[in-house]
Structure 1
Amino acid sequence: MALLTAAPAAQAGEVHRIKTAPSPSTGAPIDGGGSWIVNKPSGYYVGRAMPGDTFDDEVTTSANWHFGRAQSTVNMCGWVLPGSMGADAGPVADSCSATTQATISHRLTVGRDYNAPAHQATDGSSVPANPACTLYFNYFYGTDFASNGGHWATAAGAPQSSVRYRFTTRDGQAAVVRDTVLGWGFLPIGCVQRPASLYNDND
């Protein structure tokens, strides 16, 4: 007689509503609201979860960074800021693997043409931008940064005439910049003048 053994339960994360988090550098609420989505704690900007969006918190570090899936708008695995977890919305099976976590932690996975060598800057370089363009908080849908770009979402508004350039998306179509009013986001590549020196070393 065969014995029936129950399959092990999948690990479950806890879904939370995003609330506006404080900036790790200033302590003030981040410009534009919500939480940055980054490739690792204190890493590179790859998107934004807005207030009220849902996030499956699968891993929480001792410093309160949260890794999991940003479910709303971007359907992306990544890290969100300490202080960004709002109301609890219940458990859900984990969907972001340890392999994904490790892979996206390297900057050449998420972008190219950085403004500085690895580990030598925490901000962008000041460059001219076209105020007639629109800055968007999101550009990717999913966690394949080589092929899942072009999903311009969450329009933030017109940029200032000068922004802080950080890197270019792998498809070459968008620049990740910090606007002094709107915060971090994406501009179409033709709307920003990139620095003369660009770097493609990995970290």
Structure 2
Amino acid sequence: MHFPTLLLLLIPTVQAINEYTTIANVPKPGACGNSGTLPGGGWIANKACGYVMGTAVAGQRFDVEKTSSAGFHFGRYRGTGGNFCTWILPSSLNLNTGVSVGSSCSDATASAMCDRNHFGKDFDSPPHQGDGAITVPLSLVGCPGFYNYFVDSNFLSGAFQDPVPFNMATTTGGGYRYTTRDGQASMVRATVAEYGQVIWFFVPRSCIAAQLPGGLNNDGGDGC
């Protein structure tokens, strides 16, 4: 008589959270020393004010697990070809589009992402140095650019997604930041003439390999 009750007790509960639509023209985070606007959508990163890991392009979905006091959201980005846990900038979501979904990104995942070696290798500088400044200059002319590469929360491999809509031939001030763990994609930055803004995006590492110096940094322990 009590067996059904026991079964109910063994079924784990799934916390309900809200999922929202991502938007364009997102303000860069002043809390991280940035200014300007991101036309394509808000940056996604390994932590608040951390390493850029892509762009939550407008019109996709994001599940909010938690929000920091500064307004950064941690949760699941459901993008064009990716579906993984990450942080997103404040003001990146249309808060009028919320729907209830099940929780799927844990504190353990957020903690693992604090170590930059969890998602990348061959960084331009040791942990807590560089802060996005150009230490390895690049020419990106002739390279294809993509807003996104990662596909899941393992960050072991990926696929180029969301081609950038601007003309790579007019970019200036190119700089290298890191390479994905599979060695196929590199995160770079450049000033985009059409926007008058510094934009971060991925290019094939093979396109810039000849410009990279030896001795790129693989120290871990970045922390949160």
Instruction: Give TM-score, length-normalised by structure 2.
Output: 0.82
Match of 1:170 among 158, 161, 181: 181
Which residue in 2 is equivalent to 1:91?
100
Aligned-residue sequence identity (percent) comes to: 37
Match of 1:121 among 119, 130, 147: 130
Gaps of 5+ in 1: none
Which residue in 2 is equivalent to 1:29?
37
Match runs of 1:123-162 below 5 Å:
123=132, 124-146=134-156, 148-149=157-158, 151-156=159-164, 157-159=166-168, 160=171, 162=173
Matched, 1:9 2:13: yes
Which structure has more helix as a fraction of its residues? 2
The one-letter amino acid paired with 2:43 is: W
Deviation at 1:93, TM superposition (A): 0.1
**d(CA) in 1 for partners of 2:100, 2:20:** 9
Gaps of 5+ in 2: 193-197
Deviation at 1:197, TM superposition (A): 4.5
Which residue in 2 is equivalent to 1:55?
62
Matched, 1:190 2:182: no
**d(CA) in 1 for partners of 2:160, 2:68:** 30
The one-letter amino acid paired with 2:145 is: L
Which structure has more strand as a fraction of its residues? 2
Local SS of the residue matching 1:139? strand
Which residue in 1 is equivalent to 2:195?
none
Equivalent residue pairs, number: 200
Deviation at 1:89, TM superposition (A): 3.0
Cα deviations by residue, 1:51-101 (Å, 9 ceiling, x for unpaired): 121100111111111001011221111000011121323110011112111
* Structure whose alpha-carbon radius of gyration is higher: 2
Which residue in 1 is equivalent to 2:75?
68
Which residue in 1 is equivalent to 2:114?
105
Deviation at 1:8, TM superposition (A): 5.6
Cα deviations by residue, 1:124-147 (Å, 9 ceiling, x for unpaired): 43422241121101111111212x
**d(CA) in 2 for partners of 1:94, 1:155:** 30
Q: Let me know the Cα RMSD of the aligned residues.
A: 1.9
